[in-house]
Amino acid sequence: MAGYTYLTQEGYNKLNAELEELKTNGRQEAARAIAEAREKGDLSENAEYDAAKDAQGMLEMKINQLEKTLANARILDESQLDTSKVVVLSKVTIKNLKTKKDVTYKLVSAAEANLKEKKISVSSPIGEGLLGKSVGDIAKIQTPAGMMEFEIKEISF
């Protein structure tokens, strides 16, 4: 299981589109910035040229990282997943036993995590603490805010 990134089809498509954007428009923009800076003369004292080359290097690192993620991606079919316990792509409703508030999260890979969309990474403290739990279980999770307890209320997809 190590080394794979588990993605939904939607997540895979989104990363693939981002990669294509970086490879086309991103690379053209980087090349244009370098060419513009080069026209400004002496490269040894040209901060704009150095910045443009650095930006190009960062772009290529990002492209390389996305290519690796997509190469090691496993697309998960949500209809084939088991709802008896919390797994990657589970939508899990938990009750914070201290505040008595219910909240629903979807457990996703780190590449798809987005707290605003209530998508948490399976490698985050809460994500790790919920994995493998069943409805009715109490998950005791060490968070930066201290030890928290959550009751698993519902698991779906």
pLDDT score, position 73? 87
Q: pTM for the whole thing?
A: 0.61
pLDDT score, position 3? 65
Comparing CA positions, the residue from 31, 28, 111, 14 lying closest to residue 68 is 111
pLDDT score, position 29? 96
Distance of CA 1 to the CA centre of its chain: 17
- Compute and round to an integer the Cα radius of gyration of the chain: 21
Q: May I ask the CATH class of domain 78-156?
A: alpha beta
What is the DSSP annotation of 17-62?
Answer: HHHHHIIIIIHHHHHHHHHHHHTTS-GGG-HHHHHHHHHHHHHHHH
Q: Which amino acid is at 53?
A: K
Kindly state the tokens that stand for 95. 């009750």
Q: May I ask the CATH class of domain 5-74?
A: mainly alpha
In whole angstroms, what is the distance from residue 104 CA to residue 95 CA? 9
In whole angstroms, what is the distance from residue 155 CA to residue 157 CA? 7
- Ordered by start, the domain boundaries in the chain are 5-74, 78-156
- Beta carbons within 8 Å of 143's beta carbon, 6+ residues apart: 125, 126
Q: Is residue 92 within 8 Å of 105, Cβ to Cβ?
A: yes
pLDDT, tens digit only, all 157 positions of the chain: 346 777 888 889 999 999 999 999 999 999 999 999 888 877 778 888 999 999 999 999 999 999 998 998 888 776 776 778 888 888 999 999 999 999 999 998 888 889 899 999 998 999 999 999 999 999 999 988 899 999 999 998 7
